[in-house]
Structures are given as structure tokens and as C-alpha cells.
Amino acid sequence: MPRVSVWYIRAALVHLVSGAFLGAFYLTFKAVGWPGFALSHLPVHQEQMLVGWLVQLVMGVALWILPRPAGWEPRRSAPALWSVFVLLNAGVLVAALGGDPALPASLAWIGRAAEALAVVLFALHAWNRQQPYRARSRRVIV
Amino acid sequence: MPRLTRWFLRAAMVNLGLAFVLGLLTVLPPLADEAAAWRPAYIHLIALGWATQMIFGVAYWMFPRRGPVDAQRAPRAGWLCFGALNLGLLARVASEPLLAMRPTPAAQGLAVVAAVLQLTAVLAFTWIAWPRVLAR
């Protein structure tokens, strides 16, 4: 498994555990009004589970498992893939904080913009790594 | 494919089916009037019962194994994860709509049990998966 995939998948697991704790606290809060949970954490749970866990895990596994075309140099892709990692994780945290009414609402769109940029960079990388059998001539863009 | 993976994948498909049945029922009377109360159960059946459970099953099968250490500890934690995830989801579907419509002590207790079980499932999976995510 490439090192970049290890980072994506482990970060996804961190989001899964963190999001599961928040989800469990929220369900408990709904059931018995347990005061340890603030309602403002619900957007953090949603953002972590959807983007931080599901999307990031799929990206990490895709980078590991998609075919590598002939002539592909992993070093050329590395800066873009690490940028995706940083943008996606920063985006999740910033967008989640944007759901807190006590914080500026602009955080939500800044976070979402970072996530969108991460997805575009990832798609540019992954686009030509889908190939029919025996076709290995296409070039990866980033 | 390990036996546990087959159970994960089949349970995922059952949950997806249940989610779509629930989705259909909540746009028809009499549940349509209380659709908002059923919404979290519907979302969790898809996101946790289907997508996450499918990922757990495939990851259990395909993530690289380090050898006897993983082979030894994986089955027990894996079955714990499977049981806790599905029982927790069942408890959640049974209790969460009631919390919004007609909260009872039984529903409240069941919801707390659901929260604990689902968290247990996630922790068990992470315990299995983390050491198997290895750079070559």
C-alpha cells in the first residue's frame, strides 16, 4: 500500500472514531438530555462521517488499488495527492466549525471550497487510472 | 472471502433493502405524517448499515495482513464489530423515532444501548484495521 494511501486511510479511521463518539453522545443527548454534548457538534459529526470517513477512505483505497498506467511516475503525483490530503482534512474541520452558530458562517463556505478543490485535484489524478484490460497507454494528468 | 466478510456484505444488503422500504413507507400514510421522526433511522440504515458495513466487510477481507497476529485477533474483534453494529442499528431504528414521537423510558434506555453498541463496533473495527494499514 503506498504511503499516501496509509495516511488517507488512517485519517479516515480517525474521523470515523471521532465522528462515532460525537454521534453516540448526540443520541444519548437526545435520549436522556445528557449535558456533555452541545447541539453545535452535530455538523461536526455529519461532516466527519460523510467526507472525513466515507469520501476519504474511498480515495485512499482508490489510490492504492486503481491501475497504474505505463510510464506513470509516482513522484510527479505526490505533491498533488498530499495537497488533496491537506485540503480535504482542513476542509472537513473548517466546514464543520462553520456549523457552530457562535463562529463566523464564512467558515462553512471556506471549508466546502477546500473540500471541492481537493475533489477536483483527486479526480484529475484518478481520471486516467481507469482502464480496460490491456490498455496501458494513457497518461495520468497530475 | 472470509466468512465474516460474507456476513458483513449480506447484512449490508439487508440494511439497504430495509432502508428503501422505510424510505417508501415514510412517504405513504400513516408514517408520512411522522416522516421527520424516521429520517435519522433511514439515514443511518444507509450510511452505517449499508455503506460503512460494506466497507468494514471488504476491508476485513482485503487489507494486508501482517501474519499470525492479525489472523489471531481479527476474528473475535470482527464478530464483536459485526454483532454490535447490527444490534446497535436495530436498537436505534426501534428507539430513535419513538424519542421524537412518544418518548418512553424504554425507548430512552434502548437509544443509549444503541449508542454504546455502535461506538463499540467502530472501536472494534479500528482496532482490527489500524495495524493492517501499512506502507509497503
In this prediction the ipTM stands at 0.92
Q: Is the peptide bond before B2 cis (omega within 30 degrees of 0)?
A: no
**Consecutive H or E run containing B117:** helix B105-129
pLDDT over 90 for what percent of chain B? 81
Global pTM value: 0.91
Q: Taking Cα atoms as reference points, which of B120, B119, B68 lies closest to residue A22?
A: B119
CB proximity under 8 Å: B 10-49 to A: 47
CA distance to partner chain A, nearest, from residue B34 (Å): 17
Helix runs in A41-131, H state only: 42-47, 56-65, 74-97, 106-126
Residue A30 confidence (pLDDT) above 80: yes
CB-based burial of residue A98 (10 Å sphere; 0-12 exposed, 13-18 middle, 19+ buried)? buried
Residue A21 confidence (pLDDT) above 60: yes
**Chain length of chain A:** 142
Inspect the interface and report whether the beta carbons of A20 and B118 lie closer than 8 Å.
yes
The three cell numbers of residue B4 are 465474516
Residue B84's pLDDT is what? 98
Q: Give, for all 136 residues of chain B, the pLDDT tens digit.
A: 899 999 999 999 999 999 999 999 999 988 888 999 999 999 999 999 999 999 999 999 999 887 766 666 678 899 999 999 999 999 999 999 999 998 899 999 999 999 999 999 999 999 999 999 987 6
The three cell numbers of residue B19 are 432502508
